[in-house]
Amino acid sequence: MAEEESFDTEEFSEKKKSSSNLKLKLETIIPIIVIIGVILLIVFKTNVLSGGIPLFEGKGAAVLVIGSPSPEFVRVLNDAENKDLIKSLRFVTVDSIQQNPKERIKQYDIIILDQSLSSDKTITRTVGEAIKSYVQSGGKFILVLNSGIERPGDASVIGWKATFGDIIPVSCDPTYSVPSCKNTLRVNGVIYASRSDSKQSGYKIMYGIERVPALEAAGLIQTETYAVNPTGTEIAYLQDARSGITYPAIVEQPLLLGKVIYFNYNPGLSEAVFVNTLKYLK
């Protein structure tokens, strides 16, 4: 009988020890689970891992357009067929986001600066710096033609470097009496894909497209352009049909985080190219 009681006591002790170990493990694991849950909640609320792109959200990007784009570009942006790529679209002026611009733009996946229809190409220092910070945090930025080359009331600034730093993939040269980004050129020509560079961005943006227009019989595109110097990766170039002179058409700035695409022509004239750009930026 004594042996049986001893066995029962030992068995009870083992069960008690096992129960204590389980309780200890649960007490250790539960706080870790709670901490992980809080971290995930913060990530989902702030989108810190996605550069402004909500995790596990539906298809399409939230797009903010600053300025006054061409009618052709507006039509492309509002094209119902592109709603799978653009889930929300908002047009604003520079003045309307002047107050606390970092907070006003951080919710968007893609920002477009296009002042094509405006004679005013100015952007304030604070908005420019907000866009720079947005890109360096992983945001996507599209710049069109000579938008944002000046600051209001400041004659010392021309070009993009003083306002945006090094995120813009082209430079404005102070050639002669008129800087290159102030000298508007009207070109009738063709846009060609730059296949000399093996960068993936070029192949994605110009995927399936060798030239615009695709056929010679379609004629030429008529657009404004500027004799800017590419400092990034040239994805496509524009050739004037009369003079044979070429200009950078699409240029990307290689960055560790974020993406910047520059269009040196009216992007509304090549919808397929712009759609490929949206897909690439996503």
Q: Whose CA is closest to 205, among 259, 241, 166, 160?
A: 259
Rounded to 10 degrees, the C-alpha dihedral 256/258/264/270 comes to 120
Mean pLDDT, rounded, for 169-183: 89
**Which of 7-21, 23-37, 49-63, 257-271 has the weakest average pLDDT?**
7-21
251 within some domain: yes
212 within some domain: yes
Domain carrying residue 123: 61-281
- Strand segments, DSSP code E, in 93-169 are 110-114, 140-144
Instruction: Return the ∠ at Cα 179 (arms to 134 and 154), rounded to 5°.
Output: 60
125 within some domain: yes
Residue 20 has pLDDT above 60, yes or no: no
Mean pLDDT, rounded, for 241-257: 95
202 or 44: which carries more pLDDT confidence?
202
Residue 203 confidence (pLDDT): 80
Residue 45 confidence (pLDDT): 40
79 within some domain: yes
90 within some domain: yes
Q: Write phi, then psi, for 143 (nearest 5 degrees).
A: -115, 135
Is pTM beyond 0.75? Reply is yes
170 within some domain: yes
Mean pLDDT, rounded, for 114-129: 97
CATH at residue 112: 3.40.50.880
24 within some domain: no
Residue 175 confidence (pLDDT): 72
Number of Cβ within a 10 Å radius of residue 53: 18
Distance CA 178, CA 76 (A): 32
What is the band of 18 on the pLDDT scale with cuts at 50, 70, 90? low
169 within some domain: yes
Residue 193 confidence (pLDDT): 95
Q: Report whether 75 contacts 119 (CB < 8 A).
A: no
Could you give the number of structural domains in the chain? 1
**Which of 15-24, 28-37, 118-127 has the weakest average pLDDT?**
15-24
